[in-house]
A and B are shown apart, each in its own frame.
Chain A
């Protein structure tokens, strides 16, 4: 039973436009959410996070939105750049143990 779901395995976006990556979760005990970015042959790198007491967190071009009632979070990248092309993982946790989604492969087309 997948507790963290990323239903879109891939997404293509034109350079300069907005990329929106979605994530749904089922475990109401999750209170901290993270996005990781992964390039081929490298480990995931932390991108941005949000606590359940917030509904939005912004860091430069990256914004994460959390809708607790819908158990849904999204990552917005504006404007998208070719270097953003990677696999993005959503992760959630009540403590130290992160539960990851399967990832969404983002391709930003120049």
Chain B
């Protein structure tokens, strides 16, 4: 079956512009997660969705970052007024449930964002 897909795979944008990153999770997965990986760093948790609601937004680095999920499926991560420090690989993952980490998270290939 299809895995997690993300688009675009690469995005170059000018400082100050808004960007939207898209994630299509595995069909039937109710939990969806966004992470980012900056150069030389581990994966940093941003936000997770259970269905369409986001119980935990604690990882979002600033109010320029927002995310939504519709129909319990596709999710969009929006970064407003991008800054150079936003440059990173943004990874999406999905799992059957969010109740326990034992529900394996399947990752997409990521979107590489470069802010110039």
Task: Please list the residues of chain A having a beta carbon within 8 angstroms of any beta carbon in chain B.
Answer: 4, 6, 32, 34, 36, 41-46, 49, 51, 89, 91, 93-103
Contact = CB atoms under 8 A, between A and B. Distances in A.
Nearest to B98: A96
A46 B104 contact: yes
Contacts of B48: 96-97
B109 A96 contact: no
Interface of B: 4, 31, 33, 35, 40-45, 48, 56, 59, 91, 93, 95, 98-110
A95 B42 contact: no
A59 B45 CA distance: 27
Contacts, number: 66
A8 to B, nearest CB: 14
A3 to B, nearest CB: 10
Contact of A96 (B41, B44, B100, B108): B100
Contacts of A32: 100-102
Contact of A43 (B4, B59, B95): B4
Given A96-B31, A96-B48, A97-B48, A44 B43 contact: yes
